[in-house]
Amino acid sequence: MSPRVIGFVDDSPAATPVVAMAGVLGEVLSATVEAVHVGEETGPTARAVARAAGVPLRLVSGDPAEAIVAQMTPTDVAAGVLGARRHPLGPRPAGHIALEVITRVDKLIAVVPPEAQVPLPGSLDRILIPLDGTAASAKAVERLCEVFARSGVEILVLHVFDQETTPRFWDQPHYAAEAYGSEFLARFVKERDAKMTLRAGTPQHGVLATATQEGVDLISLGWSQSLSPGRADVVRRVLSEAPVPVLLVPSG
């Protein structure tokens, strides 16, 4: 059975980048792509976007969050794509439906801001993968690194030092940082062609600044699927401010 990627669309401008991102993931994952609209009827925007992308559009009814979770349950569904919110000035870090879904579905979920410039299938160039230096975070994205590397996508690995972990060499000659980066890649990333960048500061700021400065097309974050107080601060901030889609990878 061929794997599927589902783009969940509403009848807002957010439908366009959602379907585009579903197409990108479909190509990378060698999966078929379809669009799903939850509601009583599909509106003209959703129909037009699906038709322009050449993907089938299905209509399902029920509570939006429950319906999306149900659609993501079959084993052949490899990934889902959600709009972060209907409009650029909508609620942040993401709409309540998206936040509920990402905590309940243990599969790849891409969350797309409505203003995102999503690359066309075949033109995804660079993905940013932040790692915190633990085996768990590396394991969460290991398979994903392999898949993207096989598709010719450049992998940029980011590690951010905080006040407690900043090494003594940070203000020393450049070669020390290069040596640390090479060692980090050798320990946590199997893809030898991956590139490494190091920053100091808060992880949230490091991810957002690197994404902008390096011109990445996609950010991928491994996470525990918990949004309880004190957890997932990086995920919350990145979903709120990232200018590009965010691919969430359950660490479980």
Helices (H) and strands (E) in the chain, counts: 8, 10
Q: What is the pLDDT of residue 84?
A: 83
pLDDT in tens, 199-241: 888 899 999 999 999 999 999 999 888 888 778 888 988 988 8
Q: Domain end: 54, 79, 112, which one?
A: 112
pLDDT surpasses 80 at 191: no
How far is 243 from 229, CA to CA, in rounded Å? 25
Beta bridge partners of 58: 36
Beta bridge partners of 196: 157
Looking at the structure, tell me whether residues 62 and 166 fall in a common domain: no
Sequence-ordered alpha helix ranges (H) in 117-166 = 135-150
How far is 182 from 195, CA to CA, in rounded Å? 9
Among 6-10, 84-88, 177-181, 195-199, the range of highest mean pLDDT: 6-10
What lies within 8 Å, CB to CB, of 139 at 6+ separation is 251
For 46, 66, 97, 122, 240, the CA distances from 12, given in Å and listed in that order, are 7, 20, 15, 25, 19
Looking at the structure, tell me whether residues 149 and 67 fall in a common domain: no
Q: Domain end: 86, 112, 138, which one?
A: 112
Domain of 152: which CATH number? 3.40.50.620
Residue 120, in any domain of the structure: no
* pLDDT band at 43; cut points 50, 70, 90: confident
Residue 63 is encoded by which pair of tokens? Answer: 């509570």
* pLDDT band at 170; cut points 50, 70, 90: low
Looking at the structure, tell me whether residues 98 and 141 fall in a common domain: no
Query: Domain total for the chain?
Result: 2
* pLDDT band at 187; cut points 50, 70, 90: confident
Q: Which amino acid is at 55?
A: V
Give the phi and the psi of residue 196 in degrees, each rounded to 5: -120, 140
How far is 173 from 71, CA to CA, in rounded Å? 53
Looking at the structure, tell me whether residues 94 and 28 fall in a common domain: yes
Looking at the structure, tell me whether residues 86 and 150 fall in a common domain: no
Looking at the structure, tell me whether residues 101 and 133 fall in a common domain: no
Looking at the structure, tell me whether residues 61 and 161 fall in a common domain: no
Looking at the structure, tell me whether residues 74 and 165 fall in a common domain: no
Looking at the structure, tell me whether residues 234 and 141 fall in a common domain: yes
The pTM assigned to this predicted structure is 0.89
Average pLDDT for 40-58: 92
Q: Domain end: 87, 112, 137, which one?
A: 112
Looking at the structure, tell me whether residues 135 and 190 fall in a common domain: yes
Looking at the structure, tell me whether residues 94 and 210 fall in a common domain: no
Residue 121, in any domain of the structure: no
Residue 130 is encoded by which pair of tokens? Answer: 């932040």
pLDDT in tens, 109-148: 999 988 888 887 778 999 999 988 778 888 888 888 889 9
* pLDDT band at 88; cut points 50, 70, 90: low
Give the phi and the psi of residue 216 in degrees, each rounded to 5: -75, 155
pLDDT surpasses 90 at 189: no
- Domain containing 160 equals 126-250
How far is 179 from 176, CA to CA, in rounded Å? 5
Q: What is the pLDDT of residue 119?
A: 85
Residue 237 is encoded by which pair of tokens? Answer: 């901030």
Residue 117, in any domain of the structure: no
Q: What percent of the chain has pLDDT over 70?
A: 89
Residue 119, in any domain of the structure: no
Residue 67, in any domain of the structure: yes
Residue 39, in any domain of the structure: yes
Looking at the structure, tell me whether residues 104 and 209 fall in a common domain: no
Residue 100 is encoded by which pair of tokens? Answer: 């509920």
Residue 163, in any domain of the structure: yes
